[in-house]
Amino acid sequence: MISRPAPAPLAGGDGGIAGAPRHVAIIMDGNGRWAKARRLPRIAGHRQGVEAVRKVSRAARELGIEVLTLYAFSSENWRRPPAEVSDLMGLLRRFLRNEVEELVREGVRLRVIGDYRALSPDLVEMVEDVVERTRDAEGATLVIALNYGSQREILAAARRVAEAARDGVLNPDTLDEAVFETFLDTHDLPPLDLMIRTSGEQRLSNFLLWQAAYAELLFVDTLWPDFDGATLAAALSSYGMRHRRFGGL
């Protein structure tokens, strides 16, 4: 039978000043608007967005963030024009190729959530190679969400729960939030503390819906290509002044 894991500690304890977050997620939005404002093609905005990923991931480590999760490509992004999707995949290849040595050197573990195996075979191989090379890293964790959709993740987890119950591995009477979370893509990550969305939009866009149940949400006007270490530090400062009660007083 599947045993119930010990509950993960809630950041901020049983309520109070938030302090420093362990796990920060970012919806990276605004690449297209950044390019449009400069009368550049959308790919120019995506290229600058990759530079922002580099800056922010480094800054996150310097600021002591244990896990940084980035929404790189959603399951809905396939609806974009094929040329743009191809450009995005090319940028992902370049990022993986260029960043792997730094990740290894800095002791950063790369995790990927989402159905990345639906990508092209060469890209799947690149992703799995970087994940394997950084698997035993003991520093920060960089999580990239690829072909990810939270509703799809929850449905897949529900199917696995049903299969486990059918096969006699799980007693349905023992199913609770903690057990269900073991079936999610993020099962081995700390609870999400802070969700940031750039570009002024105020929605979660099917990203980490279960995990964001008690996360603090921060919507900033900065377009993603302009987001940097200073912007991240300001976001953490805002988070640190919030009171987290988790349903209590």
Whole-angstrom Cα distance, residue 74 to residue 77? 5
238 is known to lie in a ligand binding site: no
How far is the C-alpha of 12 from the C-alpha of 18, rounded, in Å?
5
Residue 77 among the catalytic residues:
yes
Which 3 state secondary structure label does DSSP give 236? helix
CA gyration radius, the chain: 18
Q: Is 98 annotated as a binding residue?
A: no
Q: What are the two backbone dihedrals, phi and then psi, of residue 218, each rounded to the nearest 5 degrees?
A: -135, 120
Among candidate residues 29, 147, 185, 193, the one labeled active-site is 29
- Which residues make beta-bridge pairs with 197? 27, 219
Cβ 64 vs Cβ 20: under 8 Å: yes
Q: Is 46 annotated as a binding residue?
A: yes
Annotated binding-site residue? 120:
no
Burial (0-12, 13-18, 19+ Cβ within 10 Å), 240: middle
Which member of 77, 115, 206, 228 is catalytic?
Answer: 77
4 is in an annotated binding site: no
CA–CA separation, 228 and 165 (whole Å) = 46
Tell me the domain boundaries of the chain. 24-242
pLDDT in tens, the chain (249 residues): 443 333 334 444 445 666 789 999 999 999 999 999 999 999 999 999 999 999 999 999 999 999 999 999 999 999 999 999 999 999 999 999 999 999 999 999 999 999 999 999 999 999 999 999 999 999 999 999 999 999 999 999 999 999 999 999 999 999 999 999 999 999 999 999 999 999 999 999 999 999 999 999 999 999 999 999 999 999 999 999 887 766 665
**Does 150 belong to an annotated binding site?**
no
Length of the chain as a residue count: 249
Q: Is 23 annotated as a binding residue?
A: no
Q: Distance between CA 117 and CA 101 in Å, rounded?
A: 23
Q: Do 56 and 228 touch, CB atoms closer than 8 A?
A: yes
Using CA atoms, how far apart are residues 153 and 96, in angstroms rounded to an integer? 24
DSSP class per residue in 135-200: TT--S-EEEEEEEE-HHHHHHHHHHHHHHHHHTTSS-GGG--HHHHHTTSTTTTSPPP-EEEE-TT
Does the annotation mark 167 as catalytic? no
Angle between helices 42-62 and 82-105 (to 10 degrees): 20
Contact 88, 73 (CB under 8 A): yes
The answer to whether 206 is a known ligand-binding residue is no
pTM of the model: 0.90
CATH of span 24-242:
3.40.1180.10
